[in-house]
Chains A and B, each alone.
Chain A
Amino acid sequence: MKRRGLLIAPVLAPVLAPLTGLLSGSLPGLAAAAPADLAQAVRERLRQPEWLRGEFTQTKKVTGFAKPLLSRGDFVLARGRGVLWRTVKPFASELRLTRDEIRATQGGQTAMRLEAAREPVVRVINSLMFSLLNGDVSGLGELFELDGAVKGAGWQLALTPKPGALRQVLRKVDLEGDSFVRRIQLFEANGDESLIELANLRPDVAPEPGLFQ
């Protein structure tokens, strides 16, 4: 009787899709695991502490820009809680991904907010973000075909999105690391590229409990 509003939905799908492209194909438990030995080898090399802190350098090549865009900052990764992404240079801004929302703030003011209760895709975005930074092989295996190699303490993964909406946004992801993820390279379908390098990684022994509330 009163559900006239529902076809508003289709419009949001293509809009939210570029966010992560995670509108489909992300069924937990249904995806085949990565080749078992590769996944196992990567898993053996990784330390995945409950709290992880580190610094990042992001180099983004965007069509329409002659020079790459460089930014630096630090981040906090808390298993089961979320991700805090704090850009320091060229200017300060914060991005916080928790179970229930994605929130961007600048100078204490909210610039953008997406709630999981309204946009279920928020959870998927957050778990992708977490899996990439943490090197969660089984989480990634649900979304991507995994390929790669192991060499000494180090490892490399080439991630190709499984068929579905993710492919319309993301062409490929390269991941490199040892006991932590060190390097993430994103190749977007529209030609943009981002290289994220992580440094000074350290498990946090004195976490801030209120960080993701």
Chain B
Amino acid sequence: MNLARITRRLAGLWLVVVLACLVHNAWHWGVQRRAPVTDLLAMLPTDEQRPLATQATQALADAGSRRISVLIGGGDWAQAQAAADAFLQALGDVPARHRVADADQQTWLDLYTPVRQGLLSAEARARLTAAPTAALADQALAALYQPVAGPRVGRWADDPLNLFGLWLSERGQGSRVRVQDGRLMLTDATAPQRHYALVLIELPGSGFEIGAARALLPRIETATRAAQAAGATVLQAGVPLFAAAASDQAEREIHTIGLGSLLGIVALTLLAFRSLRPRLLVTLSMAVGLLVATSVTLLWFGELHLVTLVFGVSLLGVAENYGTNYFSARQGLAAAERWTMLARQIPIVSLAMATTVIGYGLLALPPFPGLRQVAVFSGAGLVAAFVTVLWWFPLMDGQGRMAPTRFADWLGSRRALWPSLGRRGLTLLGLAALVLVAAGAARLRVDDDIRQLQSAPPALIEQQREFARLMQAPGVAQFFVVQGATEQELLEREEALTARLRGLGLGVQAVSDWLPSLRRQHEDQALVARRLAELRPELEKRLEQTLEPGSSANANADARPAGLTPWAWLASPASEPLRAQWLGRLGAGPATAVLLRGAESRETREALAALRLDGVTWVDKVGEVSGLLGRYRALMSVVLVAGFALTWAALAWRFGRRAWRALAPTALASVLAVALLALSGQVLQLFHILPLLILLGLGVDYGIFMLEQPDRRATQPFLSVTLAAASTLLSFGLLALSGTPALRAFGLTLLFGVFLAWLFTPFFMPDHD
């Protein structure tokens, strides 16, 4: 009776706390409209975080995230154009870019022609520096006499060496896209008879907001079929396509896996308790856990990371055990008997809870803010769910006698099927496990590369790959950030960097190629003026006539124009293609991103990461995130081992020398789960190790519940454990069917682990007969 009164008091108090958390959550998400932090690198130790890298990556990603690019063709140019027309017609009023007007082309020349004296291609600079005047004259005259010369702007006499034309050609090398018949055209480098028309579709909003993309995708699909009907190959690429594919997949899985899991769990509850109330209350306990966990984490850290939410919610799944155990124990008892039952169960469930919280608490030890958040979140959530079961369930579980169902009786009595394995039996089991573990160890592979987690449909990836091959565009996953105190210092540093990179044989896309530093422009101007002054008499001698110098050449040589400034460049529409690489102010000064082609191999990336130049930072998002996953995986493994040790200590405190019987089944299940994963060909990474921590929490609970009543005739503990395990398998285990690699890894580990832990636990119980 005493317990009943205390429980009522505490239940009221707990209600106040839960309501406060509810208000806090509503305030944070609803009123302040805050969103979870999503940057993965925020999970790194603070001293290793590089806001520079994060901001630069963000700026670059934003620029391309709303664009879908489509290549149409694959045959001759006439066919490509006809197919593109069919595509555009089917696309209707969706804004798409595919033409280039003469006026657009003129803006380029308007920007660069007045400053052409200071623009030199690398080759021309080298030639002007080293070549004798006679050789320069040969070259200039050959171009004059030959029927076909290099691309040239303006008159020969203004620029006899065609320096401006060479500079523009060098710029053109940066892209494979050309303008033909006023259209954007791409030609396959390895099969020059194959041509494609390029169509760019810019979506409103961000690429990660899939709403806009969703609305347009069916129309792009229709247009694609129209182009295919015209005999063309169609290649689509762009972030919105991947975002839409991912959300499609998630939706499909919610419909299949999610619904299957829900139906299974409801059916199980109905069978076992002939009532939905237990299921509703167990769900309530977990919801309260989530709510309180969110509030505590927000109050503690001031923010909530998306990863915390995802991992934390999974870790909270262990709370399932407490509610299920309550109802298994309550079954067959009259309402009044619940208090004696509760008094008996409190120490058991408390121990189960404590062992799990200990394991999760260990996550807070490494200096990773991400893990600390996860530890606080899941710890707080577990305690809250536990408290809800203890203080609320007795007041909400109905007044009648919960009659035992035939199914529950039958299920509980299956306990008798498990013999208690003696010393010999356990040794045999251990040996069999050892063989499996050895086989698994032989095939164990570990790879933390984030790209392992790529889950887009293969057809989409294939299109993206072919698109990238045709375009030969630089990557944005790895790049350099260059900083300077002033814009000119920045550009000079960038020039030093690009010279080094080109020396390594890499393709480079950099702002300073289009906007050289003023120092370089002035040096080039001086070089050109000097060599032209030497060249002119030589040319006149050979041509046997005086040259009438061009007006522009004359004016530029004398007046030495100021050159192209960042301000003028940024203001011109001509800078649009590279403007995303002009990052603006980052930290103390302006910054740019230098993009690379051909830097995919690991060796190259390592060599680039080792490059040390003033103001230059290597950013390798893929590498950093992969490294982060690897470090988390290693840390998790250590935490796991420590978790087992501490759990053993906690168990020993209650069970004494029998403690190993509660722990060993889970330990065995964990090791075997890893062996089975390895044998089934899974490449291990963080998402295989993380669920082992959950398995520790879950499996030890099974051990505790059963070790409290180890008798083979006791049906209640086995019923409780079996129901809990079945629910876990139906919720987490079904994730093994997911198409998302991280979820699949998670689900598969728990599928093996939970099943094995449930299977082994009764074997390890002592024999009372």
Contact = CB atoms under 8 A, between A and B. Distances in A.
A58 B192 contact: no
A87 B146 contact: yes
A106 B577 CA distance: 37
B610 interface: no
B237 interface: yes
B547 A120 contact: no
A104 B146 contact: yes
Contact of A60 (B145, B169, B581): B145
B145 A7 contact: no
Contact of A104 (B105, B142, B574): B142
A88 to B, nearest CB: 11
A12 B172 contact: yes
Contacts of B138: 91, 93, 106-107
A36 interface: no
A2 B155 contact: no
Interface in B178-204: 178-182, 184-185, 187, 189-190, 192, 195, 198
A62 B156 contact: yes
B171 A97 contact: no
Contact of A71 (B145, B157, B577): B145
A13 B153 CA distance: 11
B328 interface: no
Contact of A23 (B181, B237, B574): B181
B211 interface: no
Contacts of A30: 78
B178 A121 contact: yes
Given A1-B237, A9-B177, A19 B141 contact: no
Given A64-B548, A91-B138, A95-B146, A11 B168 contact: yes
B173 to A, nearest CB: 7
Contacts of B157: 62, 64-65
Given A2-B474, A5-B509, A119 B178 contact: yes
A196 B147 CA distance: 10
Contact of A15 (B169, B185, B543): B169
A94 to B, nearest CB: 9
A123 B69 CA distance: 27
Most B-side CB within 10 Å, residue of A28, A69, A125, A196: A69
Interface string B138-155: 110111111111111101
A12 B178 contact: yes
A95 B109 contact: no
Interface stretch (A40-48, A110-118, A151-159, A202-210): A110-118
A25 B81 CA distance: 13
B172 A9 contact: yes
B195 A67 contact: no
B100 interface: yes
Contacts of A9: 100, 172, 175, 177-179, 184
B189 A118 contact: yes
Nearest to B76: A28
A12 B148 contact: no
Contact size range, B: 35 or more
Interface in A2-35: 2-16, 18-20, 23-25, 27-30
A100 interface: yes
Given A18-B152, A64-B156, A114-B150, A69 B144 contact: yes
A19 B576 contact: no
Interface in A66-92: 66-67, 69, 71, 85, 87, 90-91
A125 to B, nearest CB: 6
Contacts of B15: none
A100 B149 contact: no
Contacts of A107: 138
Given A9-B179, A16-B151, A4 B145 contact: no
Interface residues of A, number: 64
A69 B92 CA distance: 55
Contact of A24 (B180, B550, B581): B180
Contact of B64 (A4, A25, A119): A4
Interface string B579-597: 0110000000000000100
A30 B31 CA distance: 64
B576 to A, nearest CB: 6
A9 B197 CA distance: 13
Contacts of A71: 145
Interface centre among B63, B150, B475 (most CB of A within 10 A): B150
A14 B141 contact: no
Contact of B141 (A91, A112, A120): A91
A62 B144 contact: yes
A185 interface: no
A107 B131 CA distance: 14
B323 interface: no
Nearest to B185: A120
Given A15-B165, A27-B78, A93-B146, A1 B64 contact: yes
B473 A66 contact: no
Contacts of B181: 23-25, 164
A29 B76 CA distance: 11
Interface string B216-250: 00000000000000000000011100000000000
A11 B108 contact: yes
A4 B155 contact: no
A32 to B, nearest CB: 15
B179 A6 contact: no
Interface of A: 1-16, 18-20, 23-25, 27-30, 58, 60, 62-67, 69, 71, 85, 87, 90-91, 93, 95, 97, 100, 102, 104, 106-107, 111-112, 114, 116-121, 123, 125, 129, 164, 190, 194, 196
Which 6 residue pairs across A and B have the least CB separation, nearest first? A7-B577, A6-B177, A5-B175, A15-B151, A13-B179, A12-B172
Given A3-B177, A64-B155, A129-B148, 12 more contacts: A4-B474, A5-B175, A9-B179, A13-B178, A64-B157, A65-B548, A66-B545, A90-B145, A104-B149, A104-B150, A123-B192, A129-B147
14 contacts: A7-B177, A8-B174, A11-B105, A12-B151, A13-B180, A24-B182, A27-B77, A60-B144, A64-B550, A65-B543, A65-B545, A66-B545, A90-B141, A112-B143
